[in-house]
């Protein structure tokens, strides 16, 4: 009996060594965001949606203030731009897609330079290789024309020969907010050289301010022969 009692005591002691004490509840492990994080996420999403709605409201207010004659001229210009032959745009889109696929496959990009933003160089090279004339502009501190900078593409009042501002973007157009730029492709997406991943990336930058809250106002341009 003593042997059995000792054996049970030893067994009990061994078992209690791995058990959680009765006065300490088993910890509840939570995977994913907690309630506070979910709340903050919803608040941030609402804030971004409100900002996007406010920008849309301001744009409508400014558009409503334009005289009817000017509105008609804008509409007619847009109709003309929409009627342009899309073949160059399709070639630009095709080249951008091929470079994106190559970059993702090799995990490299020939346009990446450490510490240098080269998104405008990728766009320039794709345009040039498509057969469209290479866009060049004059710079304040240069004597010879240069490749347009991102800030040039993103300024609707800055003239870039053969590249007109449009309000209804389509594949092959160029998108820029003055700090970053990309080539528009099918499905309201764009392709760009990333300074973060160092690769050529594809996504909804330029079309989705919720996913890209820093994109700001994006200007779209189209090649016009």
Mean pLDDT of 6-24: 49
CA 49/CA 154 separation, integer angstroms: 23
Q: Which comes out higher in pLDDT, residue 13 or 192?
A: 192
130 Rama class: left (phi>0) / alpha (psi -120 to 50) / beta: alpha
Say if residue 16's pLDDT is above 50.
no
The structure tokens listed for 208 are 């989705």
Rounded CA-CA distance 170/220 in Å is: 9
φ/ψ of 82, rounded to 5, equals -70, -25
Least confident of 25-34, 42-51, 88-97: 25-34
């Amino acid at each position: 009996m003593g042997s059995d009692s000792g054996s049970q005591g030893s067994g009990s002691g061994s078992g209690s060594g791995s058990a959680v004490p009765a006065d300490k509840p088993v910890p509840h492990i939570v995977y994913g965001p907690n309630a506070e994080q979910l709340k903050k996420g919803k608040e941030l999403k609402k804030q971004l949606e409100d900002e996007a709605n406010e920008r849309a409201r301001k744009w409508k207010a400014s558009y409503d203030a334009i005289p009817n004659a000017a509105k008609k001229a804008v509409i007619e210009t847009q109709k003309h731009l929409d009627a342009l032959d899309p073949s160059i745009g399709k070639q630009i889109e095709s080249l951008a897609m091929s470079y994106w696929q190559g970059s993702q496959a090799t995990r490299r990009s020939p346009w990446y330079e450490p510490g240098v933003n080269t998104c405008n160089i990728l766009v320039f090279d794709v345009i040039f290789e498509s057969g469209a004339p290479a866009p060049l502009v004059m710079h304040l501190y240069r004597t010879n024309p240069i490749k347009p900078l991102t800030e040039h593409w993103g300024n609707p009042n800055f003239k870039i020969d053969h590249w007109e501002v449009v309000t209804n973007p389509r594949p092959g157009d160029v998108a820029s907010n003055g700090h970053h730029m990309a080539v528009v492709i099918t499905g309201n997406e764009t392709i760009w050289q990333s300074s973060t991943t160092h690769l050529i990336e594809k996504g909804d930058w330029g079309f989705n301010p919720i996913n890209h809250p820093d994109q700001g106002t994006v200007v779209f341009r189209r090649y016009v022969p």
